[in-house]
Structure 1
C-alpha cells in the first residue's frame, strides 16, 4: 500500500475510534454510571494495553521525576479532567455536539502557545480562531446540534474538554523529555491518567463497578479502542507529521455525528452543516497557516 494511502487509513481509523469512545461512554452513563467512574475504568484498560505493548517492544515508560511530571501534566489534564467535563456534559447533551467541539482543541492550542511565547499568533490564526468559535456558537443555536436551549450550561461544561486537550498539548511541549519513544510516552501518560481519574473520582463518589456484564464489556471495548487509537496516533505523528495528523479532528467530528445518529437517533438540525463548516474552516486556518518566523 502506498505511504499516503496507509497514512490516510490510519487517520480515518484514529478519527473513527476517537469519535466512537464518547458515544460508548454515554451508553454507560445511561446505565447509571458516574462520569469519572467511566473514565477511570476505560483509562485503566487503555493503560494496561499500552503498557503491555510498550513492555513487549522494550519501550516501557521511564519513571524518573522528569518523565513523571510529563505524564501527570498530560494525563491528568488531557484525559482525567477532559473526560470529567466531557462525560458530565454527555449525560444531558447529544454526542454529536461534543463531536463538533473536539476540533476546537487546535484553536485553543494555538492561543495557549501564543500566550506561553512558544508560537506567535498571526492575523490568519486569530481570524481562524474567531471563525471556529462562531461555528460553535452556531452549533448551540436552536435548529443545530443542541436541541434545547436549557441544556446550554451542560454544553458549556463540555466545552472545557477541548480546553483541557489544548492545555495538555502545551504541557506536552513544555515538559517533554527528548529521546523518549512515542509509545513509552503514550503508555506513561495514560497510566497516570487512569491514576489521576481514580484519585479524583474517589472523593466524588464516582467509583463503582459496572451494573451488568454488558456495560463491563462496553467499557472494556472503550478502553481497547482508546489504546489502539493512541498507538495509531503516535505512529501517524512520526510517519506523517503534526499538520497531517491534526486533520484527524475532522474525521472525529464526522464520526461522532455518525455514531450519535446510529446509537442515539440524534438528528442534528439544518444549522449543523454551516456550523460544522465554520468550525472546519477555522481549524484549517489555524493548523494549515504557515508558522510565523521567530
Structure 2
C-alpha cells in the first residue's frame, strides 16, 4: 500500500471505530424508557433488512432461498442477533455504556478459545498470554473490591460477556462451515429477514411490540440510528477488509472500545475512576496479543468487493 492509501484506510478505520463505538450509548438510550428487548431486536432486524436490501439492489446481488441458504440465515440470525441482542438489551438497562464497550473487547479473545475448540486455530503461547490480560481486565471490572467510580452489577456484566461469546462464535461458525458460497451482504440480508420473521410473533405475543410514533421519540431515534450506523459500518468493514487486509481491519476493535468510552462520556456523562484505564490497558494488550499475525491469506484481495 502507498502512504496515501494507508492514510485513507486509517481514516476509514477511525470513522468505523467512532461509528460502532457510538452504538453502545445509543443502545443505552433505546432501553431507557422500558422498551422490551424482543421489540427492540425485532425493529433492529427490520431496519437492518431494509438497508441491506437497498445495498443488495444497488449491487445487483440476488438472495438465494434454497433450503441450505435458509438454514444458514436462521442459524446466523439466532447466534448473531436474536440471542446475543436479546441479552444485551436486557443487560444495557443495568450496565453503564462505557462498561459495555469495554466488555465487548473480549470478542477476539473468546473467538480464539472457540477457534481452538473447533480446530480452526492452533495453540500459540503469545495468544494464551493475551487471554490472561483480557481476564485481568474483566476481573477488574466485576471485582467488588475495585472502585470504578460507579457500581457495576457483576451478574449483568456476566450476561453481557455471553453476548460477546455469541459474536465470537458467529465468526468461528462462518470460518468453520462457510456461508454456502454467498457474499456478506446477501447473507446479512437473509439473516435479517429470517430473524425479523422469527421475532415478529415473539414481540407481539410477549407484549413487547413497539409501535412507531411520530414524531419519533428519542429512544426510537436512538434505535434507528444505532441500526443504520451498524449496517453502514459493517459494509465499510467488508470493503476495507477486501482492500487493506483482515489483520489491518480487525484493529477497529481498539477504536470501538476507546470511542465507546469517549461517547459514553460525551453523550451520557459517564465518568469512571482511574482503575478503568488500567482495565482498558489490560484489554488492549490482550487484543494485541490475541489477534493473528499477518499471513499471505491476509493480503489485500483487490478484486474483492
User: Is TM > 0.5 for Structure 1 vs Structure 2?
Assistant: yes
* 1:108 corresponds to: 110
1:148 to 136, 147, 151: 151
Whether the 8 Å contact between 1:124 and 1:289 is mirrored in structure 2 is no
1:246 to 239, 247, 250: 250
CA displacement, residues 75-114 of structure 1 (integer Å, 9 cap, x when unaligned): 3211221211211111011000010011211111111111
Q: What secondary structure, in the 3-state scheme, does the structure 2 residue paired with 1:207 have? A: coil
- Give the drift of 1:199: 5.2
1:53 to 34, 52, 55: 55
* 2:71 corresponds to: 69
CA displacement, residues 88-146 of structure 1 (integer Å, 9 cap, x when unaligned): 1110110000100112111111111110111112122111112111111112343227x
Distance (Å, rounded) in 1 between the aligned partners of 2:232 and 2:137: 30
Whether the 8 Å contact between 2:98 and 2:270 is mirrored in structure 1 is yes
Indicate yes or no: 2:171 matched with 1:169.
yes
- CA separation of 1:121 and 1:200: change in aligned 2, threshold 3 A: farther
CA displacement, residues 162-221 of structure 1 (integer Å, 9 cap, x when unaligned): 101011111212332364333223322333343444455444433222566223333322
Aligned length: 289
2:232 to 224, 228, 232: 228
Distance (Å, rounded) in 2 between the aligned partners of 1:206 and 1:86: 16
- CA separation of 1:10 and 1:265: change in aligned 2, threshold 3 A: same
Q: What secondary structure, in the 3-state scheme, does the structure 2 residue paired with 1:267 have? A: coil
Distance (Å, rounded) in 2 between the aligned partners of 1:111 and 1:202: 37
Distance (Å, rounded) in 2 between the aligned partners of 1:199 and 1:128: 42
Whether the 8 Å contact between 2:141 and 2:279 is mirrored in structure 1 is yes
- CA separation of 1:267 and 1:209: change in aligned 2, threshold 3 A: same
- Give the drift of 1:153: 0.9
Q: What secondary structure, in the 3-state scheme, does the structure 2 residue paired with 1:4 have? A: helix
Where do 1:267-282 residues align within 5 Å? 267-282=271-286
Which stretch has the larger CA shift, 50-59 or 8-17?
Answer: 8-17
* 2:80 corresponds to: 78
Distance (Å, rounded) in 1 between the aligned partners of 2:111 and 2:70: 22
Distance (Å, rounded) in 2 between the aligned partners of 1:269 and 1:31: 27
Where do 1:1-294 residues align within 5 Å? 2-141=4-143, 142-144=146-148, 147-149=150-152, 151-177=153-179, 179-198=181-200, 200-210=202-212, 213-214=216-217, 215-289=219-293
- CA separation of 1:40 and 1:280: change in aligned 2, threshold 3 A: same
- Give the drift of 1:229: 1.3
Q: What secondary structure, in the 3-state scheme, does the structure 1 residue paired with 2:140 have? A: helix
Q: What secondary structure, in the 3-state scheme, does the structure 1 residue paired with 2:31 have? A: helix
Give the TM-score of the pair, scaled to structure 2: 0.87
- CA separation of 1:87 and 1:190: change in aligned 2, threshold 3 A: same
Give the TM-score of the pair, scaled to structure 1: 0.90
- Give the drift of 1:72: 2.2
Q: What secondary structure, in the 3-state scheme, does the structure 2 residue paired with 1:2 have? A: helix
Which stretch has the larger CA shift, 175-184 or 225-234?
Answer: 175-184
